[in-house]
Amino acid sequence: MRGPHNIWRLIRTGATLERTGAMNLVLDAFRAPPSLRFASKALGVPFKWLGYKGDPNLPPATRALTALGPAYIKFGQVLSTRPDVVGDELALQLRVLQDKLPPFPLSEARAEVERELEMPVDTLFSSFSEPVAAASIAQVHKAVLRETGRPVAVKVLRPGIEKAFRKDVDAFYLAARMVDLLAPSARRLRPMEVIAHFEGVVQGELDLRMETAANAEFAANTAKDAGFRVPHVEWFLSSRRVMTLDWAEGITASDIAAIDAAGHDRKALGERVLTLFLQHALRDGYFHADMHQGNLKIAPNGDIIALDFGIMGRLDEYTRRVYAEIIFGFIRKDYRRVAEVHFEAGYVPADRDIDEFARALRSVGEPIFGMDASRISMGRLLNFLFEVTERFGMETRTELILLQRTMVVVEGVSRSLYPQINIWEVARPIVEDYIRKNIGPKALIRDLSRTVRVLSRFGPQLPKLAEAALLRHSAPPPPPDPRIRRGDAVGLVLLGAGGMATIVWIAALF
């Protein structure tokens, strides 16, 4: 499906923004320059009639994204947590995308549950409610287990969601290829790899069996985290398109008025959200990668309850150490060490000037310290960071995409709970504790002991491996095969090269 016909999809995207009235709102939110505004109007107004109409009862931005499809809705969910980037008005409109989208009928949900679980709904549940929350990919119903009387949440995928998402992702691939062809300076961002990574994440989210497994693993990792809960899943009432788990009673993290009325300490909540994320990313290497307000509830006792485990992030131990050293370097204002870590990890090409890079990092980090978060424009900061990375040839690290995206979302959630939060002060004790335990003499001894254990597994095979290596080294080279003449060998090489060229040519078409 990744053919030129997806150009139509991109044209309709711009036309939909114009028709729904979202274009001006988006341009204002991102402080678009006059040239971009002129180009948008010149291209958008003539094709306005091609755009999707959407639901006139919704605000413009929400109306446009819901009309365009689930992938666009996911993008809007991320932006909804960053009023400092897109402005308060647009963030307020996009917040509706988190869990207040139009639901599909109860009859369809019941039919889907019966197909997937192969039993009548009334046999499994004594009650099965209308949708209580509807998001881009699935909706949730409150039910009561007939056997135990325990309340549960039943998550059901939207009908036809797999096909709809494929259509959106195909258009994104075309956009990424156009960036590759028309903007060579942006190739370092590896847009095709970014979209491929995004597609893989989405495919995992569309299989609720994977989410059920993620829920169980995350619950095991965080069982001892104070003030944090993960609902228990019902394995035998879950399948590819249906997931059943404990009902979580609490206030949605976006309802600030209700949180205040309940007497919760919003400063403590904001700091805990950020602290938990860092603990999960650094300590466990496994973190919730979709922590917007719609996926967090505040329990009556003040615990934070996490929901929706369709998108999870995983970091290997080496990446965790690099990430911790970078954060720790910023906290200590040791920009030279931060620069060295970037070079050691291969994030910056080795031919670049490390001192120049350290100075550029200082220009990014220094304005942050000594200021509360409400005085920092994250939009301007991100723009400046992009300029710095472009200057030094840094490439997009696909393994860090979810980590970077989640850090943006989590900071936005923490700020919505407590606008004056300082991310560096909150992060310091978590990062220092990780550095103390994982970087230094003790960590070196632990790494060496692990290496010895791995090598010891090959002990019984070492004599055979050594004997085989010696035999290969001492054996004469095999005589040439008389059935293959030199001309034939050249022909085989050319045939292989021609086949590879054909594959490349076909791939270019798609």
Q: Would you say 245 and 153 are in contact if contact means Cβ atoms under 8 Å apart?
A: yes
* DSSP 8-state secondary structure symbol assigned to residue 348: S
**Residue 211, Ramachandran bin (φ over 0: left; ψ between -120 and 50: alpha; else beta):** alpha
Confirm if 203 and 168 have CB atoms less than 8 A apart.
no
| Residue written as token pair 């936005």 | 412
Q: Which residues are within 8 A (CB) of 98 and not within 5 positions of it... i.e. 6 or more apart?
A: 77, 80, 135, 254, 292, 293, 294, 295
Instruction: Give yes or no: 316 in active site.
Output: no
Helix (H, G, I), strand (E, B) or coil at 115: helix
Q: What span, in angstroms and rounded, lies between the C-alpha atoms of 214 and 355?
A: 42
Which residue pairs from 369-372 have beta carbons closer than 8 angstroms and sit at least 24 positions apart in sequence? 369/333, 369/424, 371/422, 372/420, 372/421, 372/422
| Residue 508 C-alpha from the chain's centroid | 28
Which among 90, 102, 30 has a CA at the least distance from the CA of 66?
Answer: 102
Residues paired with 152 in a beta bridge: 143, 246
**Helical residues (DSSP H) of 69-124, grouped into ranges:** 70-79, 83-86, 88-94, 106-117, 121-124
Pairing of strands 312-314, 286-288: antiparallel
Among 40, 56, 51, smallest CA distance to 16 is for 51
84, 170, 290, 308: the catalytic one is 290
| Angle, CA of 348, 409 and 70, to the nearest 5° | 105
Instruction: Give the separation between CA 9 and CA 352, rounded to whole angstroms.
Output: 40
Nearest Cα to Cα of residue 278 among 331, 233, 236 = 331
Q: How far apart are CA 40 and CA 15, in angstroms?
A: 10
Residue 473: C-alpha distances to residues 411, 467, 476, 477 (Å): 58, 10, 8, 10
**Tell me, what DSSP letter sits at residue 315?**
-
Residues classed as catalytic:
290
